[in-house]
Structure 1
Amino acid sequence: MKLSRVEVEGLLGRFNHVVEFTTDQEFVILYGPNGIGKTKVLELIDYTFKGRVLAVDQVPFDVATFAFDDGSTLVLAREGQRALFDRAGDESAHDLVIILKTPSSDEISWSMRESRPQIPVSRVLRLIEQESPVSRVGPNEWHDIAHDDIISREQLFDRYGGNLPVDSRPYQLPDQLQDFFNGLESHLIETQRLLREAPRIRSPRSLDRPAKSTVEVFSQNFSEQMGNVLAQNSRTSQERDRTFPRRLLSYGVVPAEATEEAIRIRYEQQSELRARLARIALLEQSSTDLPLPDRELEDWERLVLWTYLDDSQEKLANLLDFLERAELFTSIMNSRFEYKQLHLSREGFSILSDYGQDIPVSSLSSGEQHELVLTYDLLFNVNREALVLIDEPEISLHVAWQQEFMNDIANIAKTASLRFIVATHSPQIIHKWWSRAVSLGSASEGER
Structure 2
Amino acid sequence: MRIKQISVSGLFGIFDHVIPLNMDERITIIHGPNGFGKTAILRILNSFFNSQYSELRAIPFKHFCLGFDDNTSIEIIKNTDNSEEAEKNNIVFKFYQPYSEPVYFYLKPRKIRSDRGFPMMFLDYGIEERHTPIIRSLDIRTEETLFSEEAVEHFNNLSFPNLKSQEEPNWLEQLQSNIHIRLIESQRLLNFVPNRSSRRSAETPSILSTVSAYSDELAKLMQDKFKEYGTISQSLDRTFPVRVVKQQPSTDLTDEQLRHQLNELEATRSRLIEVGLLDKDEDAEFQIQPQDIDESTKNALSVYVQDVEKKLSVFAEIASKIDLLRKIINNKFAYSYKEINFSKEKGFVVTTSYGSSLSNSKTLLPTDLSSGEQHELVLLYELLFKVQPNSLVLIDEPELSLHVGWQVQFLKDLQDITQLADLNILMATHSPDIIQDRWDLTVELKGPHK
The alpha carbon displacement at 1:268 in A equals 1.3
With over 3 angstroms needed to count, the CA separation of the structure-2 counterparts of 1:91 and 1:360, relative to structure 1, is closer
Partner of 2:43: 43
The letter for the 2-side match of 1:318 is: V
Tell whether the 8 Å contact from 1:8 to 1:65 is kept in structure 2 after alignment: yes
Q: What amino acid is the match of 1:424?
A: T
Please say if 1:236 is aligned against 2:232.
Answer: yes
1:194 to 2:192 alignment: no
Output the CA distance in 2 between the equivalents of 1:107 and 1:303: 65
Shift of 1:282: 0.8
**After the TM superposition, which residues 174-189 of structure 1 pair with which residues of structure 2 at under 5 Å, given as runs?**
174-189=169-184
Correspondence for 2:308:
312
What is the one-letter code of the residue matched to 2:105?
Answer: S
CA deviation digits over 1:273-330, x for unaligned, max 9? 10010112211214554443438731x5332222222121122111011111111111
1:34 aligns with 2:34: yes
Question: 1:390 matched to which residue of 2?
Answer: 395
CA contact (8 A) 2:73 2:96 kept: yes
Q: Does 1:365 align with 2:360?
A: no
Query: 2 CA distance for matches of 1:416 and 1:377?
Result: 11
Q: 1:423 corresponds to which residue?
A: 428
- Measure how far apart 1:359 and its partner are: 2.1
Matched residue, 1:70: 70
Q: Say if 1:177 and 1:197 are closer, same or farther in 2 by CA, change over 3 A.
A: closer
Deviates more, 1:26-35 or 1:261-270: 261-270
Whole-angstrom CA distance in 2 between matches of 1:296 and 1:288:
14
Q: TM-score, normalised by structure 2?
A: 0.81
Q: How far did residue 158 of structure 1 move?
A: 8.2
The answer for the alignment partner of 1:155 in structure 2 is: 156
The letter for the 2-side match of 1:294 is Q
Displacement after TM superposition at 1:215 (Å): 1.4
How far apart in 1 are the matches of 2:424 and 2:162?
30
Amino acid at match of 1:351: V
1-structure distance, mates of 2:349, 2:163: 42
Aligned alpha-carbon RMSD (Å):
3.5
One-letter amino acid of the counterpart of residue 277, structure 1: L
On the 8 A contact 1:80/1:90 being kept in 2, the answer is: no
**Structure 1 residue 152: Cα displacement:** 4.8
CA distance in 2, matches of 1:172, 1:200: 24
Matched with 1:20 is: 20
1:340 aligns with 2:345: no
Report the CA distance shift for 1:154/1:195 in structure 2 as closer, same or farther (over 3 A): closer
- The residue that corresponds to 2:448 in the other structure is 444
Compared CA separation, residues 112 and 400, structure 1 to 2 (3 A): same
Match of 2:383 in 1: 378
Residue 390 of structure 1 and its aligned partner are, at CA, apart by: 0.7
* Partner Cα distance (1:142, 1:350) in 2: 44
8 Å Cα contact 2:89/2:109 also seen in 1: no
Q: Assess if the C-alpha contact under 8 Å between 2:133 and 2:162 holds in 1.
A: no
Shift of 1:242: 2.9
What are the Cα deviations for residues 348-407 of structure 1, in whole angstroms up to 9, with x where unaligned? Answer: 112211231122221211111111111112212222221111111111111111111111
Opposite residue 30 of structure 1, the aligned amino acid is I
| Other-structure match for 2:94 | 99
**Cα offset for 1:93?**
7.2
- Pair 121,92 (structure 1): closer, same or farther in 2 beyond 3 Å: closer
Contact 1:185 1:387 in 2 (8 A): yes
Q: Residue 200 of structure 1 contacts residue 206 of structure 1 at CA under 8 Å; is this kept in 2?
A: no
Distance in 1 between residues matched to 2:50 and 2:212, nearest whole Å = 28
- How high is the TM-score relative to the length of structure 1? 0.82
Q: Which amino acid aligns with 1:176?
A: W
Question: Secondary structure, in 3 states, of the residue corresponding to 1:411?
Answer: helix
**Mapped partners of 1:340, 1:158: distance in 2:** 35
Which amino acid letter does the alignment assign opposite residue 344 of structure 1? F
Which amino acid letter does the alignment assign opposite residue 103 of structure 2?
S
Q: CA deviation at 1:49?
A: 2.2
Check the 8 A contact 1:133/1:144 in 2, yes or no. no
Q: How does 1:262-301 map to 2 (within 5 A)?
A: 262-286=257-281, 289-294=286-291, 297-298=294-295, 300-301=296-297
- TM-superposed deviation, 1:411: 1.0
Q: Report SS of the residue matched to 1:302.
A: helix
1:171 to partner: Cα distance: 3.1
Q: What is the total number of aligned residue pairs between the two structures?
A: 415
**Aligned partner of residue 22 in structure 2, secondary structure:** coil
> CA 1:368/1:154 → structure 2, altered by over 3 Å: closer, same or farther?
closer
Match of 2:349 in 1: 350
Report the alpha carbon displacement of residue 153 of structure 1 after superposing the two structures with TM: 2.5
Preserved contact between residue 51 and residue 178 of structure 1 (Cα < 8 Å): no
Judging changes above 3 Å, is the alpha-carbon distance between structure 1 residues 12 and 143 closer, same or farther for their aligned structure 2 residues?
Answer: farther
Counterpart in 1 of 2:167? Answer: 172
Counterpart of 1:360, as a letter, is L
Following the alignment from structure 1 to structure 2, what is the Cα–Cα distance between the partners of residues 144 and 424? 38
Equivalent position of 2:136 in the other structure: 135
Question: Cα 1:260–1:116, aligned 2, differ >3 Å: closer, same or farther?
Answer: same
Q: How far apart, in 2, do the equivalents of 1:392 and 1:142 lie?
A: 38
Shift of 1:436: 0.6
Asked if the contact 1:116–1:171 (Cα under 8 Å) also holds between the matched residues in 2, the reply is: no
Structure 1: gaps (5+ residues):
82-88, 164-169
Tell me what 1:85 maps to.
none
Structure 1 pair 303–45 and aligned structure 2 pair: CA distance change class (3 A): same
Query: Contact 1:134/1:142 (CA < 8 Å) preserved in 2?
Result: no
* Amino acid of the structure 1 residue aligned with 2:393: V
Q: 1:69 to 1:248 in 2, by over 3 A?
A: farther
Deviation sequence 1:248-291 (CA, Å, 0-9, x none):
344333263x3323222221111111001011221121455444
Q: Aligned letter for 1:59?
A: I
Matched, 1:413 2:415: no
How far the C-alpha of 1:334 sits from its partner, in A, is 0.8
2:208 match: secondary structure: coil
**Inter-CA distance 197–90: structure 2 relative to 1 (3 Å threshold):** closer
SS for the counterpart of 1:112 is strand
Pair 1:45–1:343, CA change in 2 (3 A) = same
Shift of the alpha carbon at 1:235? 2.2
Structure 2 contact 265–286 (Cα < 8 Å) conserved: no
